[in-house]
Structure 1
Amino acid sequence: MNKSGYPRLEGKVAIVTGAGSGIGEAAARTFAKEGARVVLVGRREGPLRSNAEAIAKAGGEALAVAADVSLSGGVDRVVAETLDRFGQIDCVFNNAGIQGDGRPIIEMKEVSFDELIAINLKGPWLLTRAALRSMLDGGQDCPGGAIVNTSSFLSTGATAGTSVYSASKAGLDAMIRAIALEVGDKGVRINNVNPGVIDTPMLRAHGEEVIPPLAARAALGRIGTPQDVADVAVWLCTDEARFITGQSLLVDGGFTIPGPR
C-alpha cells in the first residue's frame, strides 16, 4: 500500500516464478495484496494451487500454472495462459532457481552445470524475452512494465562449491544492464534483487546449525525472511521505483559489508 492506503499495483498483472515456496510464495501474496492479479508458476502444481487458494481467500485473484521455465515451450505456455486469462503482462518476477549440489568443480558433472544454468540464467532470459514481446507489441492497454530477477549476493562473491551458482547469478546482473538499455525508452524497467542469507527451504536443507553463525555475521544480527526480499521485489515493480533500472539491489541485512563471501 502507498501512503494513501491504496494498492500500488491495482489493475496490473504479475507473473511470479518459483511461487510455491520461500521468496516466490511471499512475493505472489504481496503482489496480490497490492492489487495485482497474479500468475503463480513453478514445477510442482500442489504448492502453487495452495498459494493461489490462499490469495483467493484473501480477496485476490490468482492463476496457478505448472511449468518448467527453463524450457521455451513451458515459458510460452505461461505467457499464453496469462494473456488468455488476464489479457496483459505488467510485472514479472523471475524468482525460480536452484542452488546445485555444492560440489567443487573437479567433482561436478556436466549435467549439473547444464541444469543450474538452464534454470537460474536461461529461464529468466526466456521469460523476460517472452514477456517483453507482449509488453512491447502495442496490444496492451498499458504499455511498458517492470521485470525483476532474483540474483544473489554471491554474484559478486563466492563460497567453495558455488562456481556455477555464482556464475549464473553474475550472468543475471550483466544481463539486466543490456536489457535496460534496449527497452528503457519503451517504458520497461528491469532490475535484480540480490538476497543475502534468507530463511528458505534451500537454506534449511543445510541444517539448522548453520543459521546462528550466519545471523551473527549480518549487520542487523539476523538472517532475512522471504518477506524481506518479496517486499523489495514488489516495490521495484511499483511507480515508486519508476527511475530505477538496470540495477542489482542487495537485500542482505548488511551481511556482505565485511566482504561478499
Structure 2
Amino acid sequence: MPATKKIAAVTGAGSGIGRAAAVALAQAGFALALIGRRIEPLLETQEIIRSAGGEAQAFPADVGDAASVEHAFSQIEHTFGRLDVLFNNAGRNAGAVPLEDYEVDFWNDVVATNLTGVFLCARAAYRLMKAQSPQGGRIINNGSISAHSPRPHTIAYSATKHAVTGITKSIALDGRAYNIACSQIDIGNAATSITERMNQGVLQADGRMAPEPRMDVSHVANAVAHIAGLPLDANVLNMTIMASAMPFVGRG
C-alpha cells in the first residue's frame, strides 16, 4: 500500500448507506476495509469497488461482539498498516412498538447493535489511530434525525441514536490530544431497501399513516466522502442531510 494512500473502514458496508458510502470513498481515493456480519454482501461491495479500479477488502464481523470487532480491526491493521477514517454506520431499524409491549430481549438487541456496536468500533478505531504514525484519524458516526426527534413508538431506536450523539461529542473532545476528529451525520429518509415502506406510508405523530419523500442515497454517500476528505484540523461536528420535504422540521 503506497504511503500516501488513505484507508477508510465502513461498517454495514454490505448494503444501503454503507455500500453507497464505501463506493463514494473509493471514488475519492481511499482504500476500503468493508465490515459487516455477512460475507456475501461485503464481497458484492468489494467487487463493485474493484471493478471500478478501487481497492477494497472484506472483513466479516459482528459489531455487537467485542472479540469479533477486535479481530476485524486487527486484520485491518495487518492488511493496510493504518486507518485514517471509520464510517461507523452499522445499525438496525426497530420498527414501531408501543412502550408497554417492548420486550427486554428486543431492547437489548437494538442497544447491542446501535449503541454498543458504535462504541466497540469507535474504540477499536481510536486505539489504532492513537498508536499509528503519523498519529490521528477521523471517526464519522451515523446518527439519525431520530437523534433529535423521535418517531412514534421507537423508544429503543431513539434512545440509542440520542446516545450516539454523546459518543460523538466525547470522542471529539478526548481525541483532540491525538489528532482524532469525530463527526456525526444525521440522515433522514435516504432511499434504500429499508425505507421503501415509506412509499406506502409510515406512522406520523398525529396517528396518521402517510407516505414520506425520500432522497437518493448518493447524496448521503457524497456527504460522508466530503467529511472524510477534510484535513484533521477542520471538522464537521454535526451534519443533517435529509429529504427536503420530509416531516422532520415541525415533526409532531
TM-score (norm. length: structure 2):
0.90
> Residues 66-106 of structure 1: CA distance to partner in whole angstroms, max 9, x if unpaired?
11011111111111110111110110001111011321111
Distance in 1, matches of 2:53 and 2:42, equals 17
Give the alignment partner of residue 237 of structure 1, picking from 199, 216, 228: 228
Q: Give the match for residue 22 of structure 1.
A: 16
Indicate whether 1:193 and 2:181 are aligned.
Answer: no
Distance in 1, matches of 2:251 and 2:198, equals 22
Distance in 2, matches of 1:241 and 1:86, equals 20
Q: Give the match for residue 251 of structure 1.
A: 241
Give the alignment partner of residue 146 of structure 2, picking from 140, 154, 177: 154
Q: Kindly, what percent of the aligned residue pairs are identical? A: 30
Note the residue ranges of structure 1 that are not aligned, 5 or more in a row: 1-9, 216-222
Indicate whether 1:127 and 2:118 are aligned.
Answer: no
Indicate whether 1:97 and 2:91 are aligned.
Answer: yes
Which amino acid in structure 2 is aligned with residue 112 of structure 1?
F
Distance in 1, matches of 2:105 and 2:140, equals 27
Which amino acid in structure 2 is aligned with residue 17 of structure 1?
T
SS at match of 2:212: helix
Q: Give the match for residue 39 of structure 2.
A: 45
Which amino acid in structure 2 is aligned with residue 151 of structure 1?
G
Moved over 6 A (4+): none
Distance in 1, matches of 2:180 and 2:62, equals 25
Q: Give the match for residue 167 of structure 1.
A: 159
Note the residue ranges of structure 2 that are not aligned, 5 or more in a row: 203-209
C-alpha spacing 1:186/1:166, structure 2 compared with 1 (3 Å): same
After TM superposition, give the deviation of residue 192 of structure 1 in Å. 0.7
Distance in 2, matches of 1:50 and 1:134, equals 27
The answer to whether the Cα contact below 8 Å between 1:32 and 1:38 also exists between their aligned partners in 2 is: yes
Q: Give the match for residue 62 of structure 2.
A: 68
> Residues 146-183 of structure 1: CA distance to partner in whole angstroms, max 9, x if unpaired?
11011111111112121110111100112111111111
TM-score (norm. length: structure 1):
0.87
Q: Which protein is richer in strand relative to its size?
A: 2
Residue correspondences, number: 241
Q: Give the match for residue 4 of structure 1.
A: none
Q: Give the match for residue 71 of structure 2.
A: 77
